[in-house]
Structure 1
Amino acid sequence: ESDLAALYPPPPPYYKFFTAENIDKAKIWLKENEDSYNDDNDETNYPKEEFRFLIPPKKPTGPHYRCFGNIWPFDDKIPTLKEQNIPQLYQDITSSQHGQDPTQVELEKLTKSLLVVFLEIIGIISINPNVYQENLERLRIILINIHHLLNEYRPHQSRDTLKLLLEKQIDIKNREIMKIDNDCKVVKDKIFKIVE
Protein backbone atom coordinates (compact mmCIF):
# COMPACT_ATOMS: atom_id res chain seq x y z
CA GLU A 1 0.00 0.00 0.00
CA SER A 2 2.91 2.37 0.70
CA ASP A 3 4.21 1.74 -2.84
CA LEU A 4 0.85 2.77 -4.24
CA ALA A 5 0.83 5.93 -2.12
CA ALA A 6 4.31 6.82 -3.39
CA LEU A 7 3.09 6.73 -7.00
CA TYR A 8 0.64 9.55 -6.41
CA PRO A 9 2.01 12.72 -4.81
CA PRO A 10 -0.18 14.42 -2.25
CA PRO A 11 -2.33 17.29 -3.53
CA PRO A 12 -0.91 20.79 -3.18
CA PRO A 13 -1.68 22.35 0.19
CA TYR A 14 -3.83 25.13 -1.24
CA TYR A 15 -6.64 22.69 -2.09
CA LYS A 16 -7.88 23.31 1.46
CA PHE A 17 -8.87 26.85 0.43
CA PHE A 18 -11.45 25.54 -2.08
CA THR A 19 -14.42 25.42 0.25
CA ALA A 20 -17.91 26.60 -0.66
CA GLU A 21 -17.65 29.42 1.90
CA ASN A 22 -14.28 30.68 0.55
CA ILE A 23 -15.49 30.50 -3.06
CA ASP A 24 -18.49 32.67 -2.17
CA LYS A 25 -16.27 35.13 -0.26
CA ALA A 26 -13.83 35.29 -3.19
CA LYS A 27 -16.65 36.10 -5.63
CA ILE A 28 -17.83 38.90 -3.36
CA TRP A 29 -14.28 40.23 -2.97
CA LEU A 30 -13.75 40.16 -6.74
CA LYS A 31 -17.00 42.07 -7.37
CA GLU A 32 -16.05 44.74 -4.82
CA ASN A 33 -12.44 45.12 -6.03
CA GLU A 34 -12.76 44.29 -9.73
CA ASP A 35 -11.71 47.70 -11.09
CA SER A 36 -8.66 48.12 -8.87
CA TYR A 37 -7.66 44.45 -9.23
CA ASN A 38 -7.70 44.58 -13.06
CA ASP A 39 -6.02 47.99 -13.41
CA ASP A 40 -2.96 47.57 -11.23
CA ASN A 41 -0.13 45.09 -11.41
CA ASP A 42 0.63 45.95 -7.82
CA GLU A 43 0.99 42.94 -5.51
CA THR A 44 -0.61 44.90 -2.64
CA ASN A 45 -3.91 44.87 -4.52
CA TYR A 46 -4.08 41.06 -4.48
CA PRO A 47 -6.71 39.34 -2.35
CA LYS A 48 -6.10 37.81 1.06
CA GLU A 49 -4.12 34.58 1.16
CA GLU A 50 -7.16 32.30 1.36
CA PHE A 51 -8.65 33.91 -1.78
CA ARG A 52 -5.44 34.11 -3.80
CA PHE A 53 -5.85 30.67 -5.37
CA LEU A 54 -9.59 31.06 -5.92
CA ILE A 55 -9.39 34.14 -8.16
CA PRO A 56 -8.10 33.65 -11.70
CA PRO A 57 -4.79 35.34 -12.46
CA LYS A 58 -4.69 38.62 -14.36
CA LYS A 59 -4.30 38.52 -18.10
CA PRO A 60 -0.70 39.13 -19.12
CA THR A 61 0.03 42.45 -20.73
CA GLY A 62 2.01 42.81 -23.92
CA PRO A 63 2.16 40.77 -27.11
CA HIS A 64 3.77 37.68 -25.50
CA TYR A 65 3.22 35.38 -22.56
CA ARG A 66 5.41 32.83 -20.80
CA CYS A 67 4.30 29.20 -20.43
CA PHE A 68 6.45 26.30 -19.23
CA GLY A 69 9.61 28.35 -19.67
CA ASN A 70 8.87 29.34 -23.29
CA ILE A 71 7.71 32.69 -24.64
CA TRP A 72 4.62 32.49 -26.87
CA PRO A 73 2.88 35.26 -28.87
CA PHE A 74 -0.83 35.91 -28.38
CA ASP A 75 -1.34 36.11 -32.14
CA ASP A 76 -1.20 32.54 -33.38
CA LYS A 77 0.58 33.05 -36.69
CA ILE A 78 3.24 31.16 -38.52
CA PRO A 79 6.51 33.10 -38.50
CA THR A 80 7.88 33.76 -41.95
CA LEU A 81 11.07 32.14 -43.13
CA LYS A 82 12.71 35.57 -43.27
CA GLU A 83 11.92 36.09 -39.57
CA GLN A 84 13.67 32.78 -38.88
CA ASN A 85 16.69 33.77 -41.05
CA ILE A 86 16.06 30.93 -43.51
CA PRO A 87 16.12 31.61 -47.26
CA GLN A 88 12.74 31.27 -48.95
CA LEU A 89 13.12 29.07 -52.03
CA TYR A 90 9.58 29.38 -53.37
CA GLN A 91 7.75 32.37 -54.85
CA ASP A 92 5.15 34.18 -52.79
CA ILE A 93 1.80 32.54 -53.42
CA THR A 94 -0.68 35.11 -54.63
CA SER A 95 -2.77 33.81 -57.52
CA SER A 96 -3.26 30.68 -59.57
CA GLN A 97 -0.85 29.94 -62.36
CA HIS A 98 -2.50 28.61 -65.53
CA GLY A 99 -5.46 27.19 -63.59
CA GLN A 100 -3.29 25.20 -61.17
CA ASP A 101 -3.08 25.69 -57.45
CA PRO A 102 0.07 27.80 -56.86
CA THR A 103 0.90 25.96 -53.64
CA GLN A 104 0.82 22.65 -55.47
CA VAL A 105 3.10 24.02 -58.21
CA GLU A 106 5.64 25.30 -55.67
CA LEU A 107 5.52 22.04 -53.69
CA GLU A 108 6.21 20.08 -56.87
CA LYS A 109 9.21 22.31 -57.64
CA LEU A 110 10.57 21.93 -54.11
CA THR A 111 10.05 18.16 -54.18
CA LYS A 112 11.97 17.88 -57.45
CA SER A 113 14.75 20.03 -55.99
CA LEU A 114 14.79 17.81 -52.91
CA LEU A 115 15.19 14.72 -55.06
CA VAL A 116 18.03 16.30 -57.11
CA VAL A 117 19.93 17.39 -53.98
CA PHE A 118 19.41 13.97 -52.41
CA LEU A 119 20.84 12.25 -55.50
CA GLU A 120 23.78 14.70 -55.47
CA ILE A 121 24.48 13.80 -51.83
CA ILE A 122 24.41 10.09 -52.65
CA GLY A 123 26.78 10.67 -55.57
CA ILE A 124 29.17 12.75 -53.46
CA ILE A 125 29.17 10.23 -50.61
CA SER A 126 29.99 7.40 -53.02
CA ILE A 127 33.02 9.33 -54.35
CA ASN A 128 34.27 11.29 -51.33
CA PRO A 129 32.37 10.76 -48.04
CA ASN A 130 34.04 13.75 -46.36
CA VAL A 131 32.57 16.45 -48.67
CA TYR A 132 28.80 16.34 -48.33
CA GLN A 133 28.03 19.01 -45.66
CA GLU A 134 27.18 21.81 -48.14
CA ASN A 135 24.59 19.70 -49.93
CA LEU A 136 23.24 18.45 -46.62
CA GLU A 137 22.58 22.06 -45.62
CA ARG A 138 20.81 22.65 -48.97
CA LEU A 139 18.71 19.56 -48.28
CA ARG A 140 17.80 20.89 -44.83
CA ILE A 141 16.75 24.29 -46.25
CA ILE A 142 14.57 22.65 -48.92
CA LEU A 143 12.88 20.47 -46.30
CA ILE A 144 12.23 23.50 -44.06
CA ASN A 145 10.71 25.35 -47.04
CA ILE A 146 8.45 22.39 -47.85
CA HIS A 147 7.40 22.13 -44.21
CA HIS A 148 6.69 25.86 -44.03
CA LEU A 149 4.65 25.82 -47.24
CA LEU A 150 2.60 22.89 -45.95
CA ASN A 151 1.97 24.69 -42.65
CA GLU A 152 0.73 27.77 -44.52
CA TYR A 153 -1.67 25.52 -46.39
CA ARG A 154 -3.19 24.00 -43.23
CA PRO A 155 -6.14 26.44 -42.97
CA HIS A 156 -7.17 25.58 -46.54
CA GLN A 157 -6.84 21.90 -45.77
CA SER A 158 -8.97 22.17 -42.63
CA ARG A 159 -11.63 24.16 -44.50
CA ASP A 160 -11.76 21.55 -47.27
CA THR A 161 -11.87 18.71 -44.72
CA LEU A 162 -14.76 20.41 -42.93
CA LYS A 163 -16.54 20.90 -46.26
CA LEU A 164 -16.16 17.18 -47.08
CA LEU A 165 -17.38 16.22 -43.62
CA LEU A 166 -20.48 18.42 -43.96
CA GLU A 167 -21.20 17.07 -47.44
CA LYS A 168 -20.93 13.52 -46.08
CA GLN A 169 -23.34 14.36 -43.23
CA ILE A 170 -25.80 15.90 -45.72
CA ASP A 171 -25.58 12.77 -47.86
CA ILE A 172 -26.23 10.54 -44.83
CA LYS A 173 -29.23 12.67 -43.78
CA ASN A 174 -30.64 12.59 -47.33
CA ARG A 175 -30.35 8.78 -47.43
CA GLU A 176 -32.09 8.57 -44.05
CA ILE A 177 -34.89 10.83 -45.31
CA MET A 178 -35.28 8.70 -48.45
CA LYS A 179 -35.43 5.54 -46.31
CA ILE A 180 -38.06 7.08 -44.04
CA ASP A 181 -40.08 8.20 -47.11
CA ASN A 182 -39.88 4.67 -48.54
CA ASP A 183 -40.94 3.14 -45.21
CA CYS A 184 -43.85 5.61 -45.00
CA LYS A 185 -44.91 4.66 -48.53
CA VAL A 186 -44.81 0.94 -47.66
CA VAL A 187 -46.87 1.57 -44.51
CA LYS A 188 -49.43 3.65 -46.49
CA ASP A 189 -49.73 0.89 -49.11
CA LYS A 190 -50.33 -1.71 -46.38
CA ILE A 191 -52.95 0.52 -44.73
CA PHE A 192 -54.75 0.99 -48.08
CA LYS A 193 -54.73 -2.79 -48.64
CA ILE A 194 -56.17 -3.36 -45.15
CA VAL A 195 -58.87 -0.70 -45.64
CA GLU A 196 -59.94 -2.13 -49.03
Structure 2
Amino acid sequence: MADSNQGPISTFPDPPPFYTHFTPSNQATLRAHRSTLGLSASAPIPASSLPADSPLQYLLPPPPPLPENYWSFAEHWTSPERHPSLEEFGIQRLYSTEDEDEVAGANRVVELRRLSKSLLLSFLELVGVMGVNPEEYHVKTADIQTILFNMHHLINQYRPHQARETLCLMMEDQLQRTRKETEENRAAVRRVEEALLGVEFMARTVKQGEQLDRPFSMESKEEKALEKAKLKDAQGWHLIMDSTQ
Protein backbone atom coordinates (compact mmCIF):
# COMPACT_ATOMS: atom_id res chain seq x y z
CA MET A 1 0.00 0.00 0.00
CA ALA A 2 1.29 3.44 -0.83
CA ASP A 3 2.44 5.65 1.99
CA SER A 4 -0.09 8.21 3.17
CA ASN A 5 0.86 11.79 3.88
CA GLN A 6 1.43 12.67 7.50
CA GLY A 7 -1.11 15.46 7.74
CA PRO A 8 -2.75 17.07 10.77
CA ILE A 9 -4.89 14.70 12.82
CA SER A 10 -8.26 15.89 14.13
CA THR A 11 -10.35 14.39 16.92
CA PHE A 12 -12.49 12.51 14.41
CA PRO A 13 -10.28 12.20 11.30
CA ASP A 14 -11.71 11.44 7.88
CA PRO A 15 -10.99 8.05 6.33
CA PRO A 16 -7.81 7.91 4.24
CA PRO A 17 -8.37 9.02 0.65
CA PHE A 18 -7.12 5.75 -0.86
CA TYR A 19 -10.25 3.85 0.26
CA THR A 20 -11.89 4.93 -3.03
CA HIS A 21 -9.55 2.57 -4.90
CA PHE A 22 -11.07 -0.52 -3.24
CA THR A 23 -13.58 -1.14 -6.02
CA PRO A 24 -14.77 -4.49 -7.42
CA SER A 25 -13.10 -3.76 -10.75
CA ASN A 26 -9.72 -3.02 -9.14
CA GLN A 27 -9.98 -6.12 -7.00
CA ALA A 28 -10.79 -8.23 -10.07
CA THR A 29 -7.81 -6.69 -11.89
CA LEU A 30 -5.56 -7.49 -8.92
CA ARG A 31 -6.75 -11.11 -8.89
CA ALA A 32 -6.03 -11.37 -12.61
CA HIS A 33 -2.57 -9.92 -12.03
CA ARG A 34 -1.98 -12.48 -9.29
CA SER A 35 -2.97 -15.29 -11.65
CA THR A 36 -0.66 -13.87 -14.30
CA LEU A 37 2.25 -14.02 -11.87
CA GLY A 38 1.31 -17.59 -10.98
CA LEU A 39 0.95 -16.80 -7.26
CA SER A 40 -1.34 -18.59 -4.85
CA ALA A 41 -4.21 -16.84 -3.11
CA SER A 42 -2.21 -16.49 0.14
CA ALA A 43 1.08 -15.39 -1.44
CA PRO A 44 1.80 -11.63 -1.30
CA ILE A 45 2.04 -9.72 -4.55
CA PRO A 46 5.35 -7.88 -4.96
CA ALA A 47 4.83 -4.14 -5.14
CA SER A 48 7.54 -3.93 -7.78
CA SER A 49 5.35 -5.94 -10.19
CA LEU A 50 2.87 -3.06 -10.40
CA PRO A 51 3.44 0.42 -11.81
CA ALA A 52 4.30 3.01 -9.18
CA ASP A 53 1.32 5.19 -10.15
CA SER A 54 -1.14 2.29 -10.37
CA PRO A 55 -4.15 2.47 -8.03
CA LEU A 56 -3.61 -1.25 -7.39
CA GLN A 57 -0.69 -0.25 -5.17
CA TYR A 58 -3.22 0.86 -2.57
CA LEU A 59 -4.80 -2.61 -2.50
CA LEU A 60 -1.58 -4.27 -1.40
CA PRO A 61 -1.15 -4.81 2.36
CA PRO A 62 1.34 -2.47 4.01
CA PRO A 63 4.79 -3.80 4.85
CA PRO A 64 5.39 -4.88 8.45
CA PRO A 65 6.69 -2.16 10.74
CA LEU A 66 10.38 -1.80 11.28
CA PRO A 67 11.81 -3.73 14.21
CA GLU A 68 12.68 -0.53 16.04
CA ASN A 69 10.03 2.12 15.31
CA TYR A 70 7.03 3.01 13.15
CA TRP A 71 4.54 5.81 12.56
CA SER A 72 0.81 5.59 13.36
CA PHE A 73 -1.66 8.49 13.24
CA ALA A 74 1.21 10.96 12.88
CA GLU A 75 2.84 9.67 16.07
CA HIS A 76 6.12 7.84 16.45
CA TRP A 77 6.02 4.45 18.23
CA THR A 78 8.75 2.04 19.18
CA SER A 79 8.62 -1.71 18.62
CA PRO A 80 8.65 -3.29 21.13
CA GLU A 81 7.05 -0.46 23.04
CA ARG A 82 9.23 1.02 25.76
CA HIS A 83 9.44 4.21 27.77
CA PRO A 84 12.12 6.62 26.57
CA SER A 85 14.86 7.32 29.07
CA LEU A 86 15.50 10.71 30.61
CA GLU A 87 18.71 11.01 28.65
CA GLU A 88 16.78 10.72 25.38
CA PHE A 89 14.81 13.82 26.43
CA GLY A 90 17.97 15.63 27.45
CA ILE A 91 17.13 15.57 31.18
CA GLN A 92 19.64 14.76 33.89
CA ARG A 93 18.87 11.61 35.86
CA LEU A 94 19.00 12.18 39.61
CA TYR A 95 18.41 8.66 40.90
CA SER A 96 21.34 6.26 40.88
CA THR A 97 20.83 3.17 38.74
CA GLU A 98 22.41 1.85 35.58
CA ASP A 99 19.24 0.37 34.13
CA GLU A 100 15.79 1.84 34.62
CA ASP A 101 14.22 -1.63 34.52
CA GLU A 102 16.33 -2.61 37.55
CA VAL A 103 14.65 0.00 39.74
CA ALA A 104 12.51 -2.22 41.94
CA GLY A 105 9.42 -1.13 43.82
CA ALA A 106 11.22 -0.59 47.13
CA ASN A 107 13.97 1.39 45.40
CA ARG A 108 11.40 3.57 43.65
CA VAL A 109 9.83 4.44 46.99
CA VAL A 110 13.22 5.36 48.45
CA GLU A 111 14.14 7.45 45.42
CA LEU A 112 10.76 9.22 45.38
CA ARG A 113 11.12 10.11 49.06
CA ARG A 114 14.63 11.40 48.46
CA LEU A 115 13.47 13.46 45.48
CA SER A 116 10.56 14.84 47.52
CA LYS A 117 12.99 16.08 50.18
CA SER A 118 15.21 17.54 47.47
CA LEU A 119 12.18 19.27 45.96
CA LEU A 120 11.27 20.83 49.30
CA LEU A 121 14.86 21.97 49.86
CA SER A 122 15.05 23.44 46.34
CA PHE A 123 11.84 25.34 46.96
CA LEU A 124 13.23 26.80 50.19
CA GLU A 125 16.39 27.78 48.34
CA LEU A 126 14.27 29.40 45.64
CA VAL A 127 12.48 31.47 48.28
CA GLY A 128 15.86 32.54 49.67
CA VAL A 129 17.16 33.43 46.21
CA MET A 130 14.06 35.48 45.48
CA GLY A 131 14.73 37.50 48.63
CA VAL A 132 18.44 38.05 47.99
CA ASN A 133 19.04 37.92 44.23
CA PRO A 134 15.78 37.53 42.26
CA GLU A 135 17.61 37.58 38.91
CA GLU A 136 19.02 34.11 39.65
CA TYR A 137 15.61 32.46 40.11
CA HIS A 138 15.89 30.52 36.84
CA VAL A 139 18.70 28.39 38.27
CA LYS A 140 16.55 27.04 41.09
CA THR A 141 13.45 26.73 38.91
CA ALA A 142 15.52 24.62 36.49
CA ASP A 143 16.56 22.39 39.42
CA ILE A 144 12.95 22.06 40.53
CA GLN A 145 11.90 21.20 36.99
CA THR A 146 14.58 18.51 36.76
CA ILE A 147 13.48 17.00 40.08
CA LEU A 148 9.83 16.96 38.96
CA PHE A 149 10.76 15.30 35.66
CA ASN A 150 12.65 12.59 37.55
CA MET A 151 9.73 12.04 39.94
CA HIS A 152 7.29 11.88 37.07
CA HIS A 153 9.52 9.39 35.26
CA LEU A 154 9.69 7.14 38.31
CA ILE A 155 5.93 7.33 38.84
CA ASN A 156 5.34 6.35 35.21
CA GLN A 157 7.19 3.11 35.90
CA TYR A 158 4.24 2.12 38.09
CA ARG A 159 1.92 2.12 35.05
CA PRO A 160 2.17 -1.66 34.44
CA HIS A 161 1.52 -2.29 38.14
CA GLN A 162 -1.43 0.12 38.06
CA ALA A 163 -2.88 -1.60 34.98
CA ARG A 164 -2.49 -5.02 36.62
CA GLU A 165 -4.10 -3.88 39.88
CA THR A 166 -6.93 -2.17 37.98
CA LEU A 167 -7.57 -5.40 36.10
CA CYS A 168 -7.54 -7.35 39.38
CA LEU A 169 -10.07 -4.94 40.90
CA MET A 170 -12.31 -5.24 37.84
CA MET A 171 -12.17 -9.03 38.01
CA GLU A 172 -12.89 -9.02 41.76
CA ASP A 173 -15.84 -6.68 41.22
CA GLN A 174 -17.16 -8.93 38.47
CA LEU A 175 -16.71 -11.96 40.74
CA GLN A 176 -18.59 -10.23 43.57
CA ARG A 177 -21.46 -9.34 41.23
CA THR A 178 -21.60 -12.92 39.96
CA ARG A 179 -21.64 -14.30 43.50
CA LYS A 180 -24.37 -11.86 44.52
CA GLU A 181 -26.52 -12.79 41.51
CA THR A 182 -25.95 -16.49 42.24
CA GLU A 183 -26.99 -16.05 45.88
CA GLU A 184 -30.10 -14.11 44.81
CA ASN A 185 -31.00 -16.90 42.37
CA ARG A 186 -30.52 -19.51 45.09
CA ALA A 187 -32.70 -17.48 47.48
CA ALA A 188 -35.42 -17.26 44.79
CA VAL A 189 -35.19 -21.04 44.26
CA ARG A 190 -35.57 -21.60 48.01
CA ARG A 191 -38.64 -19.35 48.15
CA VAL A 192 -40.21 -21.18 45.21
CA GLU A 193 -39.49 -24.56 46.82
CA GLU A 194 -41.04 -23.39 50.10
CA ALA A 195 -44.11 -22.15 48.24
CA LEU A 196 -44.43 -25.49 46.42
CA LEU A 197 -44.09 -27.38 49.71
CA GLY A 198 -46.84 -25.21 51.18
CA VAL A 199 -49.14 -25.91 48.22
CA GLU A 200 -48.37 -29.64 48.46
CA PHE A 201 -49.13 -29.64 52.21
CA MET A 202 -52.44 -27.84 51.65
CA ALA A 203 -53.37 -30.32 48.91
CA ARG A 204 -52.61 -33.26 51.20
CA THR A 205 -54.63 -31.69 54.04
CA VAL A 206 -57.66 -31.15 51.81
CA LYS A 207 -57.42 -34.70 50.49
CA GLN A 208 -57.15 -36.18 53.97
CA GLY A 209 -60.15 -34.08 55.10
CA GLU A 210 -62.26 -35.45 52.25
CA GLN A 211 -61.25 -38.99 53.14
CA LEU A 212 -62.17 -38.37 56.80
CA ASP A 213 -65.56 -36.83 55.97
CA ARG A 214 -66.58 -39.67 53.67
CA PRO A 215 -67.17 -42.46 56.33
CA PHE A 216 -69.15 -40.11 58.59
CA SER A 217 -71.48 -39.22 55.78
CA MET A 218 -72.00 -42.91 54.91
CA GLU A 219 -72.84 -43.78 58.51
CA SER A 220 -75.36 -40.95 58.77
CA LYS A 221 -77.12 -42.15 55.60
CA GLU A 222 -77.26 -45.73 56.90
CA GLU A 223 -78.69 -44.58 60.23
CA LYS A 224 -81.37 -42.53 58.48
CA ALA A 225 -82.29 -45.52 56.25
CA LEU A 226 -82.46 -47.78 59.31
CA GLU A 227 -84.72 -45.32 61.15
CA LYS A 228 -86.98 -45.10 58.12
CA ALA A 229 -87.12 -48.89 57.94
CA LYS A 230 -88.01 -49.16 61.66
CA LEU A 231 -90.69 -46.53 61.24
CA LYS A 232 -92.17 -48.40 58.27
CA ASP A 233 -92.10 -51.66 60.27
CA ALA A 234 -93.83 -49.99 63.19
CA GLN A 235 -96.48 -48.54 60.93
CA GLY A 236 -96.97 -51.95 59.33
CA TRP A 237 -97.42 -53.67 62.66
CA HIS A 238 -99.96 -51.05 63.70
CA LEU A 239 -101.98 -51.69 60.54
CA ILE A 240 -101.85 -55.42 61.14
CA MET A 241 -103.01 -55.07 64.73
CA ASP A 242 -105.82 -52.75 63.72
CA SER A 243 -107.06 -55.14 61.07
CA THR A 244 -107.19 -58.10 63.46
CA GLN A 245 -109.31 -56.33 66.06
Shorter chain as denominator, the TM-score bin is: 0.7 to 0.9
Mapping 1:7-86, distance limit 5 Å: 14-26=18-30, 29=33, 32=39, 34=43, 37=46, 44-46=48-50, 49-66=54-71, 71-86=76-91
Q: Could you tell me which runs of 5 or more consecutive residues in structure 1 were left unpaired when the two chains were aligned.
A: 1-9, 38-42
User: Matches of 1:172 and 1:134 in 2, distance apart?
Assistant: 55
Deviation at 1:149, TM superposition (A): 0.5
Structure 2 residue 136 is the aligned partner of structure 1 residue 131: yes
Deviation at 1:129, TM superposition (A): 1.3
User: Matches of 2:95 and 2:188 in 1, distance apart?
Assistant: 58
Identity %: 31
Name the one with the larger helix percent: 2
Deviation at 1:155, TM superposition (A): 0.5
Q: Could you tell me which runs of 5 or more consecutive residues in structure 2 were left unpaired when the two chains were aligned.
A: 1-13, 202-245
Kept in 1: contact 2:21–2:58 (CA 8 A):
yes
Q: TM-score, normalised by structure 2?
A: 0.61
Q: TM-score, normalised by structure 1?
A: 0.74
Kept in 2: contact 1:117–1:135 (CA 8 A):
yes
Query: 1:119 aligns to what?
Result: 124
User: Matches of 1:119 and 1:95 in 2, distance apart?
Assistant: 30
Q: Residue 20 and residue 177 in structure 1: after superposition, are their counterparts in 2 closer, same or farther (change >3 A)?
A: same
Relative to structure 2, which stretch is displaced further, 158-167 or 72-81?
72-81
- SS at 1:169's partner residue? helix
Deviation at 1:163, TM superposition (A): 0.8
Kept in 2: contact 1:81–1:88 (CA 8 A):
yes
Number of aligned positions between the proteins:
178
Kept in 2: contact 1:26–1:55 (CA 8 A):
no
Q: Residue 179 and residue 23 in structure 1: after superposition, are their counterparts in 2 closer, same or farther (change >3 A)?
A: same
Once the two structures are superposed, residues 19-61 of structure 1 have per-residue CA deviations (whole angstroms, 9 ceiling, x without a partner) of: 2232344356468284562xxxxx6334671312222222244
- Structural RMSD (CA): 3.1
Query: 2:185 aligns to what?
Result: 180
Deviation at 1:168, TM superposition (A): 1.1
